[in-house]
Structure 1
Amino acid sequence: MDSIPPIDTEDEGKPVYDTDGTRVGIVTHVAGTEVAVDPDPRLTDTVAAKLGWSFMLDGSDDSYPISLTSIESVEDDRIVVGGKGS
């Protein structure tokens, strides 16, 4: 990825999808370079592992900080995140 898409507090509440179109959570907090996502409780272990969200595999339902570099795009109606290698 060449640049990090702009994200700010107006993006709080947007759903978060992976690049395959699976809804993985919702943005709960944006502050500077920090973005927190509340994982979708229906998120499968396979998708969680692909995203590098190992905390989900332990049954945690806490909000999770994501790296700005994992954000593929910020759209009007969603945020798209890539895998752990993004």
Structure 2
Amino acid sequence: MCAQLTAEDEGKDVVNSDGEKIGVVQTIQAGTAHVHPDPGLTDEVKSTLGWGDADEDTYALDGHQIEAITDTEIQVQR
């Protein structure tokens, strides 16, 4: 399944499968969310999502990595 991201998803919290906040959607561009990571985000979570070091302050999150989208948050797959 591939979630469809829209501009309405900007500003939503991004949470892992345990409900822990890992970041906030800054922008949506071409169906990809650009997520500003939570300052306490561990390297293990970043590695799980394939978010190595980024050139800027955000990381890309595409629809294939998303489990669910609600009115207030986006849950990523484990």
Contact 2:6 2:31 in 1 (8 A): no
CA–CA separation in structure 2 for the residues paired with 1:7 and 1:74: 9
1:1-86 alignment, distance < 5 Å: 3-55=1-53, 62-83=57-78
CA–CA separation in structure 1 for the residues paired with 2:16 and 2:67: 9
DSSP-derived class of the 1:6 partner: coil
Per-residue CA distance 1:4-45 (angstroms, 9 max, x = gap): 223210110000001121111000111232210001111112
Runs of 4+ in 1 over 3 A off after TM superposition: none
Q: For the aligned residues, what is the CA RMSD?
A: 1.8
Identical residues among aligned pairs (%): 36
Structure 1: segments with no counterpart, 5+ residues: none
**How much does 1:52 deviate?**
2.0
Scaled by the length of structure 2, what TM-score is found? 0.84
- Name the structure where helix makes up a greater proportion of residues: 1
**Number of equivalences:** 78
Structure 1 residue identity aligned to 2:4: P
Scaled by the length of structure 1, what TM-score is found? 0.77
Structure 2: segments with no counterpart, 5+ residues: none
DSSP-derived class of the 2:48 partner: helix
